Amino acid sequence: MKQVLSFEQMKHLQELGLYHIYTLQDILDKLPCFIGNEVLTMQKLADSYTCLYMESYTRSMINITESKELIDAAYEMLCWCIENGYVKVENE
């Protein structure tokens, strides 16, 4: 299981204005628990992981990412959250 982001992934986050993010825990700490009524949800499937924001009752989703590695699915979700203004960043 992949434990840390690749150099390219860390560089991309820096380009987005987020620094010192290296591990899955770092990413999870930055992701919002909720976006509106949608809750952050992670799932392990047969051969991949998904990271999504889903409304509990209607099961509607605003975004979903999927990868063979949980850290990569979470990274893609963090990038989406930054690009869509759900995670605020400051240049350090």
Domain harbouring 72, CATH code = 3.30.160
> Higher-confidence residue: 67 or 19?
67
Q: From its phi and psi, is residue 60 left (phi > 0), alpha (psi between -120 and 50) or beta?
A: beta
Predicted confidence at residue 91, as pLDDT, reads 60
Q: Would you say residue 1 lies in a domain?
A: no
Q: Which of 9, 46, 6, 51 is nearest to 28 (CA)?
A: 51
Q: Is the pLDDT of residue 32 over 90?
A: yes
Tell me: the pLDDT tens digits for 16-29? 999 998 999 999 99
Q: Would you say residue 89 lies in a domain?
A: no
| Tally of domains in the chain | 1
Tell me: the pLDDT tens digits for 72-89? 999 999 999 999 999 998
Q: What is the extent of the structural domain holding 39?
A: 7-83
Tokens 């770092």 belong to residue: 26
Q: Is the pLDDT of residue 68 over 90?
A: yes
Q: Considering the entire predicted model, what is its pTM?
A: 0.92
Predicted confidence at residue 11, as pLDDT, reads 96
